Chain A
Amino acid sequence: MSNVTLSKSQNSVSPLAFVRESWRQAVIYLGFAVLFIIFSITLRDQGFLDINNLLNIVRQTAIIAIMAVAMTFVLAAGEIDLSVGSLAGLSSVVTAMVLHDYGLVAGIFAGLCIGSLAGVVNGFLTTKIGIPSFLVTLAAMGICTGTSMWISHTAAIPILNQTYAFLFGGGDIGPFPILLFWMAIIGVAGHVALKHNTFGRRVLATGGNETAAQYSGINTKVIKARVMLMSSMAAGLAGMLYAGRLQSGRFQFGEGDEMSVIAAAVLGGTGLAGGHGTVVGSIIGAIMIGMINNGLTLHGLEYSQQLVARGAIIVLAVALSKKD
């Protein structure tokens, strides 16, 4: 880097701007640490720091985290996906039904297919037809929930296959829940893809300035279709994990998850405007939401009070990261 001409006078980043920039990225980690310490102290008698409680938090948040990883790509590309929650419900129902009738392999295959199918349709409508992703996925949300209620007659479909239940969410390897591994695999893959892969660079460029990305030779429609597909596939997987963990398929699984997923990504520093995003931040954001839920429950707050507190904490965290 010896050739870089330095000019401190005109173009230098002021130290203040640098602090501001890193503050924005660090605030989520700081917030996470602060909350963790607060809960550790105030809840030391309720067993917050108990290893089982901590693993419980992971169990409860891994599925949201997985969807948040994919959502990071969607938001970074300047799009949004509101259908993830209801698609997860549909995927749980379809997987459970096919599993019941045709066995393990067919069930897994069906779950993967339903996610991919929804993703292809969402991507097609967004990029080829040109309907904003907000509307496409809003419509998909209703269609997915409706379909899963319809085909399941709003009843839960039990899963008796223990292999499936073990692999997809119910099992533990040693002391660790298998969901932790799912989260880790998806998280690492997502992090690498966004940070070190040409695809991730193209996603960020597309969301940052679509015209400039096109002028740079990037097929932004393909990029957008792909992130929509990724998000739906993650939602499909999330539904399969719900089904495995709760040993059934139900249309209510994943209900309202889209808000938690988007909140997790935004909390983690991914903007809604596109061009920015970190997978690690989104996972931390998801865990943080789970930790807040857990901590407030242990504090004895009712569900209604939890909702209020959770909303306030999220707004506060995002407001702090915006502050400049």
Chain B
Amino acid sequence: MAETNKSDGTSAPGTETARQTDPPAIKMTGITKSFGGVLALENVDLEVQHGQIHALLGGNGAGKSTLLKILRGIYSPDQGSIEVNGKPMLVHSSEASRRAGIAMIFQEMSLIPSLTAAQNIFLNREPKDTFGLIKDRFCLEEAGRLFEEFNVDIDPTKLISQLGTGQCQLIEIIKALSQRSDILILDEPTSALSDAEVDLLFDMLHRLKESGVAIVYVSHRMDEILRIADHATILRDGRLVLSAPIGNMSVESIVGHVVGKAGSNLSAPETVDETMLGDTLLELVDASGQHTPHNVSLTVRRGEVVGIAGLLGSGRSSLARMLYGVNPVRSGDIRIKGRSVKLSSPEQALKCGIALIPEDRLRQGLVVQHSVARNICLSVLDKVSHWTWVSSKKVAKLVDEQIAFLHVKTDSPETKAKQLSGGNQQKVVLAKGLATLPEILILDEPTAGIDIGSKTEVIGVIRQMAAQNKAVILISSETAELIAGSDRIVLMADGRIKRELSHEDLFPEQSNVASSFQEAQRRLQVAIQEVNANV
């Protein structure tokens, strides 16, 4: 990994001031990209000027990340051209994009926890003395100078593992800038930051902007976008919807563009009559976890699907993990069928009839190198065995049932899970959960990264569970899915439940036509933004 700047590597980007006559920092024209016949991007333009904070907006699957990956050289476009600082980019590789001065700050950290801040900044391009030894003191001084320059109060001798998430994010940005990147891409940078850290980050972004750095900013938090961005490009279903200065936009108008008017194949569930629901199955009374959530009170009745909406870091997943016994309960009470239960491990949660479909199917859901059949029966090994002897007959019966019920597309039950597509892997995780015959089913982002057909099927399964008198909690970032799947939706922000939306709140005029579904989506989006802004 040869860096282009051997000499000092630390010259601040501020030396190049923005000149209006300069060519745009990024000019992507007519970008089209398809994956296996599915169009991910169609004729999309993106133009970012130096000294501009450019918000890239869109729902999940709108094509934002594909566009950024093309810019980062990870994918090459099928059609279209990219110019960086007026120079066309002909080779599409990470290396070429880095050399052109593009840096992306990842959500997941790329810093090494066991090294100091200074060591991380100079990682793999350490200045060396005549004997080939690393000039540690020089690194420290340079890092200190950089931190001072950006007004960041971090001790460069501190280990990354001793620093907070926010500080690490700032270090990553400084690291990128010290490599002479003058185009920064930030993908949801604030999801793990505290308010003070967000202020610090925004301060820094403002300063960078003034010094002529071009910034592409991806976020779902509209209040932040309005606060910091100059210009917005909105994508929907792989197409450019709008590219305009942010000056006179409001949360409502942005959300309107993000959601759009196009028809969706999802539709709202039948209005539920209170009387159709069964007894209260799950009850949280003022329950708090170790960090989040805080003081959550929630009841879920038999036959009911409760949706949980909220942005990244709102405490949705922590709540799910707490209910599943992964995270401990610090205070408050969890009751099932009116009886207080102690959930200290997934094992116990499963015994209490709770199943969780976790958010990260590869890390938490599957043993990918094992077969589909092995994965499906992992939680119910005792049920498919006689005296601990696993009965292949019982396994085959259970697995065939689940594969048929969920339409898992696999060559055979013996196929390894890693060979399935994302949607089918998700169905295997779902099958594993359903095999435990749960009374309470919790799904955390069950449709993340899966194709639209599988999505609809997953929603169908959720409704079916409700029809079988189970209690379901559905956590999702997708408003369409929440509305289609849930009977009512609670909104979380900052680890707390902030508001609740009933079916009537979303569909006030009692008509279930497609346009009102879009309207409901818009309402939900706006509500999510509101509770987030009022933290």
Contact = CB atoms under 8 A, between A and B. Distances in A.
B370 A10 contact: no
A304 interface: no
B378 A205 contact: yes
Contact of B326 (A7, A8, A209, A214): A214
A82 interface: no
B411 A6 contact: yes
A5 B390 contact: no
B367 A4 contact: no
Interface string B363-377: 111111110001001
A212 interface: yes
Contacts of A205: 367, 370, 374, 378
B335 interface: no
Interface string B263-307: 000000000000000000000000000000000000000000000
B370 A217 contact: no
A22 interface: no
Nearest to A209: B367
Contact of B379 (A12, A216, A275): A216
B382 interface: yes
A5 B424 CA distance: 11
Interface in B383-442: 385, 388-390, 396, 400-401, 403-404, 407-413, 415, 419-421, 424, 432, 436
B358 interface: yes
B409 A216 contact: no
A212 B363 contact: yes
A215 B356 contact: yes
B381 interface: yes
Interface stretch (A172-180, A195-203, A311-319): A195-203
A275 B358 contact: no
A217 B353 CA distance: 12
Given A1-B400, A197-B389, A13 B382 contact: no
B350 interface: yes
Interface string B334-350: 00000000000111011
Contact of B370 (A6, A13, A208): A208
Interface range, A side: 20 to 34
Interface in A169-226: 192, 196-199, 201-202, 204-205, 208-209, 211-219
A59 interface: no
Q: Which of A13, A212, A213, A215 has the most CB of B within 10 A?
A: A215
A13 B415 contact: yes
Contacts of A204: 367, 370, 374
A217 B413 contact: no
Contacts of B413: 1, 4
B376 to A, nearest CB: 10
A218 B350 CA distance: 10
Contacts of B374: 201, 204-205
B494 to A, nearest CB: 26
Contacts of B369: 208, 275-276
A275 B396 contact: no
A215 B432 CA distance: 11
Contacts of A192: 389
Interface range, B side: 35 or more
A219 B390 contact: no
Contact of A198 (B349, B382, B411, B419): B382
Nearest to A198: B381
A224 to B, nearest CB: 15
Given A3-B403, A197-B389, A198-B388, A215 B409 contact: no
A198 B409 CA distance: 26
Contacts of A6: 409, 411
Contacts of B404: 3-5
A199 B413 CA distance: 21
A5 B404 CA distance: 8
Nearest to A4: B403
A197 B392 CA distance: 11
A209 B368 contact: yes
Nearest to B432: A216
B350 A217 contact: yes
Contacts of B326: 214-215
Contacts of A198: 381-382, 385, 388-390
23 contacts: A3-B403, A4-B410, A4-B411, A5-B408, A6-B411, A11-B409, A13-B411, A17-B419, A196-B389, A198-B389, A201-B374, A204-B367, A205-B374, A205-B378, A208-B367, A208-B369, A211-B364, A214-B326, A215-B358, A217-B350, A217-B379, A218-B378, A276-B369
Interface of B: 324, 326, 345-347, 349-350, 356, 358, 363-370, 374, 377-379, 381-382, 385, 388-390, 396, 400-401, 403-404, 407-413, 415, 419-421, 424, 432, 436
Given A5-B404, A198-B388, A209-B366, 12 more contacts: A4-B400, A5-B409, A6-B411, A11-B419, A11-B420, A17-B419, A196-B389, A197-B390, A201-B378, A213-B367, A214-B346, A217-B350
